[in-house]
Structure 1
Amino acid sequence: MKVDFDELDKKVLELSFINKHQRNTAELNNTIEQLQLLRDNYFNEYGLPEEIYKLQEIILNLKMFYKEAIGEDYIEEYKSLEQLMYNTKY
């Protein structure tokens, strides 16, 4: 399973623009969940390829961009994911 990151980036940007103006947090949360599932499937199938870093960056950027709209802080989750990636890679 290969991910077209250009297409994924484009979709995330479109969704970001829509949500920025509509504050549609339900749709945003659904998108984040889908991206996380994709990331987890990638991790389970391939270990830790370079693509997972790009995917994680997209997820993190989307979460941080909507931190106020979602009303949650993802800093701790980010730190734990970074540690997991580091431990797995090294």
Structure 2
Amino acid sequence: MYSYCTNMLSYCTNMYSYCTNMYSYCTNMYSYCTNMNSYCTNMYSYCTNMYSYCTNMYSYYIKMPAYSTTMHVDMLLYSMLYLNLKGF
């Protein structure tokens, strides 16, 4: 009986140690996952903002040549009109 109780005590001690270690592991994993979730949320926000910025810049640069061409044509027409009015 003494041997049985000693073995049970050893078993319970080992189980307690195992459960304590598992609790520590799970706590650390929870902390890690919480930090990763925060990191991933911030990265998603950053990438969304960068995508928006790049889309806007692309749109801006696509419109610039058309705007520039329009300005050149307008200046050409104004120059021709001016020269026409001056009698050239």
TM-score category, normalised to shorter length:
under 0.3
Q: Rg: which structure is higher?
A: 2
TM-score (norm 1): 0.27
Q: Which has the higher helix share?
A: 2
TM-score (norm 2): 0.27
**Larger RCO: Structure 1 or Structure 2 (Cα < 8 Å, ≥ 6 residues apart)?**
1
